[in-house]
Structures are given as structure tokens and as C-alpha cells.
Amino acid sequence: MEDPYAGARETTEGPVYTVTGQDWDDVAAAAAAGEERIVVNMGPQHPSTHGVLRLILELDGETVTEVRCGVGYLHTGIEKNMEYRTWTQGVTFVTRMDYLSPFFNEAAYVLGVEKLLGIEDLIPERATVLRVMMMELNRISSHLVAIATAGMEMGALTIMTMGFRERERTLDVFELVTGLRMNHGYVRPGGVAQDLPPGAVESVREYLRWMWDHIGEYEALFNENPIFKGRTVGVGYLDLAGCMALGLTGPVLRSTGLPWDLRTSQPYCGYETYDFEVPTRDTCDAYSRYRVRVDEMKESLKIVEQCLDRLEPGPVMIGDKKIAWPAQLAIGSDGLGNSLDHIRHIMGESMEALIHHFKLVTEGFRVPAGEVYVPVESPRGELGAHVVSDGGTRPWRVHVRDPSFNNLQAVPAMCEGGMIADVIVAVASIDPVMGGCDR
């Protein structure tokens, strides 16, 4: 039977173009100029794109001639949603942005709110120490994922299983302290949600001993591994001038030899009182970024030890009841919630406490009009929160400067002129998290 939709001409006559992820006009113009190239989509579902990152590659054989990043596939509208929630409720949104660094998201936003309120000096010392401790534990867990996924993408499944093994132990500590393994909502305006549960200090010390024993395995297995070095040394090269031109921060910047770390260059949360080094390397490649992250995990372990030594008895929330979230949290059989004693007090003993609780939880507190920008040093670089208030009980605007978004600008500079296999290594060495890019 004759196909009514088939023409008389053979479809193999002349050049055949398959256009995907590219404007047809551009391809047609290149074809008219006699160029031969292949346009390939890597992602947004490819396992080597660290989430839903789309890379549009133009190839000449296996050599990459042009790379473009496509973001926006994970857009959640978090920044806009925060305009319809109270200042305290905003914490539960920002913690979900860079989902591998929830404590840093919370800290940057909360420090901005506290600066607008003018209460930076009123935050209890114990709460500040707990913030630092949880952030440094979070830095370890994030770097473990970076190293594990990079190994997996290169075919080194051993490093993947090792990295997630150690990360699980770290998340166990998170769960012990906050009741959750991710998206904690732990750092809040005025302090933290709750104090350490019984036995937490001993558990963290045991974790530190366990981690010190296991970090050495990474160095023994990979530092001088000829296969690993063959895939990473000289790959994804970007020097200091390139980093400065593109606004890159974090391990990518420190792999060029510049010890720029906001914990020491623009200290916050008392970081200037802790004893630690800022690890750097000078080879500007994927290998040096791996070494920087391993060294940073060691320094984080040192900081967490110092935090445990500094934990003195005291409150973990500001004393001003007009700001402090009116809850005495406890971890019970049904999970994390208000303690029974607190519920008994506000429901059966004090009408004023009930009214205050209802008003503060439903309406929230007012923040003086103004705007601030507060940066912190996340595992991927400078994470900054631009917080704007119009004097109301909700943010007028919150914008987050996420390092993954900025660092992805380096992909073309790192990859163009190299092999397609090295694109995967270069992206892994940047360690982007798309939840931070698409807010």
C-alpha cells in the first residue's frame, strides 16, 4: 500500500540535519558556511550534570568547541514565596535551596534578619557556637557528596560508596540534633530552634573520632592514584585571573592559590576566634579542587572540636519574647514538636502566654525598614542573602546570591577545547547544586 504521507523524493538526498536544543537559524547558517559540527544535549536528566543542569555542547569529533549552560529546570519560586510568609517561616523556605547546604542557607538569611533587627550582639553565645558547629558538620557532608559523585561519574564506584557511607554518619548527627536529616529549619532569628538533646556532645565526639579515621582512606586511595590523577590533573583548568573575571568563589577559587574565605576575610559568627587554616592549592585544576575539599573537611573537624569545648550552659534563643519563637521544642515519640510542659503552660495556665503565642506565630514580628546583604562561606563559595524589609511582618524581598549559579559561568572556560569526557570531570569539580541556582 502506498504511503500517502511519503513524498516521491528519497529522504537521504543531500545533507540531513538533526537539530536538538539549538536554534534552527543558527544551524542553517553554519551549514551554509560549510561547517560540520554536532550539537549534543548533556542533560538535563544526565547523571553527570549534578541534578537538572542542561549543557549544550558543540563537538568537532570528541573535542568540545562550545559549551552553554541551561538552568531553570528546578525552579521553585522560593524567593517569591517568602514574600507571603513571616520572617521566621522564611527559614523553612531557604533551607531547601541548596539542599546539600541547608544550614548555610538558613544562617545567611537569619543573619540578615538579625542585622535588620539590630540584635546581632544579643544572640546567646551557645546558639552562635551551635550554628558554627552545625555549619561545619554540613560542610563535611556537602564535600563528601561532591567527592562521591565526582568519583561515580568517572567510574570510581568505590569513592562513591565511601563518600555516602561517611555522609550517612553525618546526617545521623543532624537528625540527633535537629530531628531531621535535611531541610532542618534549625537556625532561626534570635538563635536556634532547640538545645542539644541529652548525649549529643558525646555522640558528636564519637563521630569526630570516626571521621578522622576515615578521611585518611580518601587520601590513601586517591591522592597518588595514577588513574584518578590521569582523569583530573590538568582537567578543567581555570587560573586566578579567570576566577576573578567570572566572580568565582569557594574551592574553585582556592585551587588557584588565593586563600579567600569569608570565615577569615569577613568573619561572622565569631569565626575569627577559632583556630583553623584556609587550605589552598595552586594547580588550578580538578585535582586541586578535590585536594582542597579533603583538606577543608579536616579543618572543619578541628572547628567542630573547638565548638564542643566552648559549649557552656545557657539559652539558645534571644530573651526578647517579641522576637523569640514561642516554643519549647522536644523530640518525642511523634517526632519534633512542642514539649508537653510548654503546651500545658500556654493552654491551661496563662491566657497571656496563649495570646502571645497565637499572635507571634500567626502574624510574626515586625522588622524595621531597610536592606542588608550578609554573605557566608558555604561549601561552594560565597552564599549571600540580600534581605529587604518595608517595616512589616513579612520580607518585602529576599534575593540569594548562590555560588553554584555564579560558578557555572566557568564551564565554557574550563571545557572548550578539551575532550567531551573532561566536561564531566570539570562540572564535577565545580560541584554545582541546581537547587541553589533555580530559586
Q: What mean pLDDT, rounded, does the chain reach?
A: 86
- The answer on pLDDT for 347 being more than 80 is no
pLDDT for 37 equals: 75
Residue 106: what pLDDT? 94
The average pLDDT across 29-41 equals 69
pLDDT beyond 80 at 311: yes
Number of Cβ atoms within 10 Å of the Cβ of 261: 24
How many CB atoms are located within 10 Å of the residue 76 CB? Answer: 13
Confidence bin at 351 (pLDDT 50/70/90): confident
Question: Which of 179, 208, 207 lies closest to 192, judged by CA?
Answer: 179
Range scoring the smallest mean pLDDT among 33-42, 65-74, 98-107: 33-42
356-402: per-residue pLDDT in tens? 777 788 888 899 999 999 999 999 999 999 999 999 999 999 999 99
Residue partners of 110: CB distance under 8 A and separation at least 6: 91, 187, 188, 189
Work out the average pLDDT over 22-36: 61
83-112: average pLDDT: 92
Please provide the size of the chain in residues.
439
Contact predicate 192/130, CB 8 Å: yes
Joined grid coordinates for residue 178: 535537629
Q: pLDDT band at residue 281, thresholds of 50, 70 and 90?
A: very high
pTM: 0.86
Q: What pLDDT, on the 0 to 100 scale, is given for residue 70?
A: 85
Report the pLDDT value the prediction gives residue 435, as an integer from 0 to 100: 85
> Where does the pLDDT of residue 104 fall: very low under 50, low under 70, confident under 90, or very high at 90 and above?
very high
Whether the per-residue pLDDT at 171 is higher than 80: the answer is yes
Higher pLDDT, 130 or 324: 130
> Poorest-confidence range of 29-33, 135-139, 435-439?
29-33
Counting residues of the chain whose pLDDT is more than 90, the rounded percentage is: 48
Question: In terms of pLDDT, which residue wins out, 217 or 21?
Answer: 217
Beta bridge partners of 376: 383
pLDDT digits (tens, 9 = 90+) for 393-419: 999 999 999 999 999 999 999 998 889
Res. 335: pLDDT tops 90: no
Which structural domains are found in the chain, ordered by start?
78-323+365-437 (1.10.645.10)
96 DSSP 8-state letter: T
pLDDT for 240 equals 92
Task: Please determine, for residue 11, whether its predicted confidence score (pLDDT) is greater than 60.
Answer: no
For residues 201-216, give the mean pLDDT.
92
Q: Is the pLDDT of residue 7 over 60?
A: no
